[in-house]
């Protein structure tokens, strides 16, 4: 049997965080901690830095929770947006460290570290695809990543074609919504 934590919608979690609930932030950490960590790790390539970014992201999220919009897909996009700033902080810190060590004093300040939006989107989509759960995730993966016809997927999974179509449609809509959430927090 599932716990209510698991059936709680992302929107409900967002609303409860706004209200100031530690337990809701904890649920958010369980849902997206791994997304934030992996995102930071892929850019910074250092597990220790990725841990720091994860920690700072959720602490910053808590202290700015009044800015969180109570919309269905707002929470992951918002967390990723905060993580992006924390990652940039680490990159700036590294650049400064480098400059001190090699004394490249004549060079202008390194420009604002930029994080490729494509990397952000890829990580978010991969994560949200996993979160769709099966059979929806498998259907979306087979149909749109591997280009398998929906009819074939229906045969493979032993599901009615209409069920497969509906999963495909809803799954894609969910991913679209998630990406929009990330773009909104640019």
Partner 1 sequence: MSDDERYLDDGADDRELLATLRESAEITFETPSPGTWDRIAAQLGPDATSAWDDSGPGDATAGLDTPEPPAPPAPAESAPTARRVSRRALWWGAAGVAAGAALTVAGVRLAESGRVIAETVLRTLDTNLDEGRAKIRERSGTLFLEIDLPHALSSSDGYVEVWLIHRDLKELVSVGIYTGGAEESFPMSRDVLNRGFVVVDLSREHFDGNAGHSGDSLLRGQLPL
User: Using CA atoms, how far apart are residues 64 and 85, in angstroms rounded to an integer?
Assistant: 13
Residues 38-57 close enough to bind partner 1 by CB under 8 A: 38, 41-42, 47, 50-51, 54-55
Coil, strand or helix: which one is 51? helix
Q: Which stretch binds partner 1 (CB under 8 A): 77-85, 93-101, 104-112, 116-124?
A: 116-124
Q: How far is the CB of 67 from partner 1 (least distance, A)?
A: 15
User: Using CA atoms, how far apart are residues 58 and 64, in angstroms rounded to an integer?
Assistant: 10
138 binds partner 1 (CB under 8 A): no
12 binds partner 1 (CB under 8 A): yes
Q: Is 42 exposed, middle or buried (CB count within 10 Å of its CB: 0-12, 13-18, 19+)? A: middle
Among 94, 99, 170, 185, binds partner 1 (CB under 8 A): 170
User: Using CA atoms, how far apart are residues 170 and 173, in angstroms rounded to an integer?
Assistant: 5
Coil, strand or helix: which one is 133? coil
Number of amino acids touching partner 1 (CB under 8 A): 70
Computed on alpha carbons and rounded to an integer, the radius of gyration of the chain in Å comes to 19
104 binds partner 1 (CB under 8 A): no
Coil, strand or helix: which one is 37? helix
Residues 73-92 close enough to bind partner 1 by CB under 8 A: none
- Tokens representing 46? 């250092």
Q: Which stretch binds partner 1 (CB under 8 A): 82-90, 91-99, 103-111, 166-174?
A: 166-174
User: How many CB atoms lie under 10 A from the CB of residue 97?
Assistant: 10
Question: In the complex, which residues of this chain contact partner 1 (CB under 8 A)?
Answer: 1-9, 11-13, 16, 19-26, 29, 33-38, 41-42, 47, 50-51, 54-55, 58-59, 62-63, 71-72, 118, 121-123, 125-127, 129-130, 140-141, 143-145, 149-150, 160, 163, 165, 168-170, 172-177, 179
């Amino acid at each position: 049997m599932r716990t209510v934590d698991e059936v709680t919608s992302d929107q409900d979690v967002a609303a409860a965080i706004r209200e100031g609930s530690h337990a809701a932030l904890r649920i958010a950490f369980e849902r997206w901690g791994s997304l934030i960590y992996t995102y930071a790790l892929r850019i910074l390539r250092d597990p220790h830095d990725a841990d720091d970014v994860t920690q700072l992201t959720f602490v910053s999220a808590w202290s700015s929770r009044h800015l969180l919009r109570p919309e269905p897909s707002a929470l992951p996009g918002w967390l990723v947006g905060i993580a992006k700033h924390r990652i940039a902080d680490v990159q700036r810190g590294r650049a400064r460290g480098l400059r001190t060590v090699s004394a490249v004093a004549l060079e202008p300040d390194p420009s604002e570290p930029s994080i490729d939006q494509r990397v952000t989107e890829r990580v978010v989509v991969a994560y949200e695809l996993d979160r769709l759960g099966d059979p929806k995730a498998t259907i979306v993966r087979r149909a749109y990543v591997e280009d398998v016809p929906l009819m074939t997927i229906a045969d493979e999974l032993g599901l009615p074609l209409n069920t497969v179509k509906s999963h495909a449609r809803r799954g894609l809509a969910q991913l679209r919504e998630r990406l929009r959430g990330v773009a909104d927090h640019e």
